[in-house]
Amino acid sequence: MNINFSRSMLAVVLVGACSCLSARPNLVFILADDCAYTTLGCYGGTNVQTPNIDRLAQEGLRFTQAYASTSMCVPFRHELHTGLFPMGSGALWNHSASKPGTKGTPHYLGALGYRVGITGKRHVFPEQNFPFEIISGFEVNCVVQKDRYEPQEIVPFLTRDSKEPFALFINSPNPHRPWTMGDASRFDPAKLKIPPALADTPVIREEMTHYLAEVAELDRQVGDVLQLLEDHGLADNTLVMFSSEQGWQFAGGKWNCWNLSLHTGLIARWPGRIEPGTETKAMVQI
């Protein structure tokens, strides 16, 4: 199959699987927004509990060396959905767009018989290059003061046609600034472990509590999605992938070229196909 999509982990796993399996798996890809992978429990984070993301890692494969080519939301998402480097797609900076005629996941997965939907933040442009079916349920605007979050609204898409496989990209706006979601009072600033790259000041500690509150909200959303798959009998035939996106909006994270900027958490769970509790040190690009 000649698909100009080979650098995307999504394409390698899904297109390869669909080419050799008679029963095509469903796909749910959950994408965070500006979440430093080191915050997550399964990647060594201790400041906030992330039981649902950790469970996904325990039940699947955790990538320890997964990277993006650019630490900005728009190039990251174009890279994910086109399989092209930013120079190839044309989406080189934030709020840029891919070149006319660029194909994305709706084209490639649609050609394999998938209905392809997206809910939440998109940031892939122009729309004709990415003709997703738009699904409600998750907040579209990453900078609102309060997210609109109604996870049950994705169920009709998940359950609409049992004979037709689906691919749903679930894009949470958390933990993107302004860090207004969740309960920051759960976190004691004095007890937080501040990484060496950050100045350990009262302001940073206070800001960190609000960031962590949104990471907790992100984890809750992951748990809700996993539960919906269970409730509707879809978990066993669904490849679930999670990425933390690029680094956080503290120093040394987003907009930079440090490890924390480009290194992303990446997890894949596929019952019966991926051995639970495994990890790989293979260097991969999202």
Helix (H) or strand (E) holding 202: helix 202-231
Euclidean distance between CA atoms 259 and 249, whole angstroms: 14
Task: Name the packing angle between helices 202-231 and 51-58 (round to 10°).
Answer: 50
Average pLDDT, integer, range 70-90 = 93
Selected residue with higher pLDDT from 49 and 7: 49
| pTM > 0.85: yes or no | yes
- pLDDT of amino acid 274: 95
- Read off the pLDDT of residues 23-43 as tens digits, 9 standing for 90 and up: 789 999 999 999 999 999 999
**271 contacts: CB under 8 Å, gap ≥ 6:** 59, 235, 236, 237
- pLDDT of amino acid 17: 58
Mean model confidence pLDDT for the chain:
92
For the chain, list the domains and their CATH numbers. 9-285 (3.40.720.10)
DSSP 64-105: EEEE-SSSSHHHHHHHHHH---HHHHS--STT--PPTT---H
- pLDDT of amino acid 57: 98
Euclidean distance between CA atoms 56 and 242, whole angstroms: 8
Residue 162: band (very low, low, confident or very high) from pLDDT cuts 50, 70, 90: confident
Residue 242: band (very low, low, confident or very high) from pLDDT cuts 50, 70, 90: very high
Q: What is the CA radius of gyration of the chain?
A: 18
Euclidean distance between CA atoms 119 and 139, whole angstroms: 8
- pLDDT of amino acid 208: 98
Greatest distance between any 2 Cα atoms in the chain = 57
Residue 249: band (very low, low, confident or very high) from pLDDT cuts 50, 70, 90: very high
- pLDDT of amino acid 2: 35
Euclidean distance between CA atoms 10 and 80, whole angstroms: 7
- pLDDT of amino acid 286: 85
| Listed residue (109, 105, 114) closest to 84, CA to CA | 105
- pLDDT of amino acid 18: 57
Euclidean distance between CA atoms 46 and 286, whole angstroms: 25
Residue 16 in this model has a pLDDT that exceeds 70:
no
Residue 73: band (very low, low, confident or very high) from pLDDT cuts 50, 70, 90: very high
